[in-house]
Amino acid sequence: MGIEEKLPAGILLTSVEKLSNWARKSSFWGATFGLACCAIEMMAAGGPHYDLGRWGMEVFRASPRQADLMIVAGRVSQKMAPVVRQIYDQMPEPRSVISMGVCASSGGMFNNYAIVQGVDHIVPVDIYLPGCPPRPEMLIDAILKMREKVMATPLGPNGRKMLEARKAAGQMPIVAPGAMPSSYRVDKVRRAEWTQAVKDGREEQLRIENWMKLQPHLREGGK
């Protein structure tokens, strides 16, 4: 990205990294890539009710050269696939992709000749967002997870070296950035619970247990 990348590994680089990532995550500019029904939900997320402007994202850049987040919203047909790739290639680094909806993530309900079974066959995807179509709130959740991921990105070759060093020394955060469900992330206690569960390798179990605790007929421990 420039002179920042040439900084030697150390505290200066980590501070610059944090600053640069914070700037990136706070001002995602989406590329308009609405294809089908999910595009309407994306537009609704940009509308006044579920306001994406709260996170600086109400503006969707028509030109991919000025965008850094491509939300592939909708089913990608065989005819459209080269266009998706071309738009992705035209986006400058650093760029991210959210595949919104099941059709973009995996082909969805259209398991047939005409639809590409998952846009990850064409472009690398950072966040998969299921739903048919996902509610605007789900899209916002995906964007928030994307922000977490961006916050943890290394800056330049020195940054990547530092990341490798951290990995080798075993200092990586227990929960990968963007991997904690939002309902756990909001509360310190639950966050600690989840982190512990990931350490033990039983986060699915934790989810199931907590869900069961909420069911009225199972509250007494099941009958």
Residue 69 per-residue DSSP state: E
Q: Is 74 in the site for other proteins (CB under 8 A)?
A: yes
Looking at beta carbons only, is 34 or 156 nearer to other proteins? Answer: 34
**Encoded tokens for 106:** 């995996």
Regarding 55 and contact with other proteins (CB under 8 A), the answer is: no
Size, binding site for other proteins by CB under 8 A:
48
Whichever of 1 and 176 has its CB closer to other proteins, that residue is 176
- Which phi and psi angles does 92 have, rounded to 5°? -80, 155
Spatial separation of the C-alpha atoms in residues 66 and 92, rounded to whole Å: 8
| E strand or H helix that includes residue 136 | helix 136-151
Residue 96 · residue 69 · CB < 8 Å: yes
Cis peptide before 94 (omega within 30 of 0): yes
CA-wise closest residue to 81 among 42, 112, 121, 110 = 121
- Cβ-based nearer residue to other proteins, 100 or 150: 100
**Interface characters, 135-174, with other proteins (x: CB under 8 A):** x---------------------------------------
Centroid of chain to Cα 71: 10
- Please report whether residue 48 would count as binding other proteins according to CB under 8 A: yes
Interaction mask 91-110, other proteins, x per CB under 8 A:
---------------xx-xx
For the window 23-42, what string marks contact with other proteins as x by the rule CB under 8 A? ---------xxxxxx-xxx-
- Residue 43 engages other proteins in binding (rule: CB under 8 A): yes
Tell me the C-alpha to C-alpha distance, in Å, between residue 34 and each of 41, 56, 77, 142, 180. 9, 19, 13, 16, 27
Q: Which is nearer to other proteins, 40 or 192 (CB)?
A: 40
212 binds other proteins (CB under 8 A): no
**Closest CB 126 distance from other proteins, rounded Å:** 18
Site for other proteins in 180-199 (CB under 8 A): 198
Query: In Å, how far from its chain's centre is CA 222?
Result: 37
Closest alpha carbon to 131 in 20, 33, 3, 42: 42
Cβ(69)–Cβ(25) below 8 Å: no
Q: Does 65 bind other proteins (CB under 8 A)?
A: no
Q: Give, to the nearest 10 degrees, the angle between helix 11-26 and helix 156-169.
A: 110
* Cβ closest to other proteins, residue 90 vs residue 153: 90
- Would you tell me which residues interact with other proteins (CB under 8 A)? 32-37, 39-41, 43-44, 46-49, 60, 62, 64, 74-75, 77-80, 83, 87, 106-107, 109-115, 117, 132-133, 135, 198, 201-205, 215-217
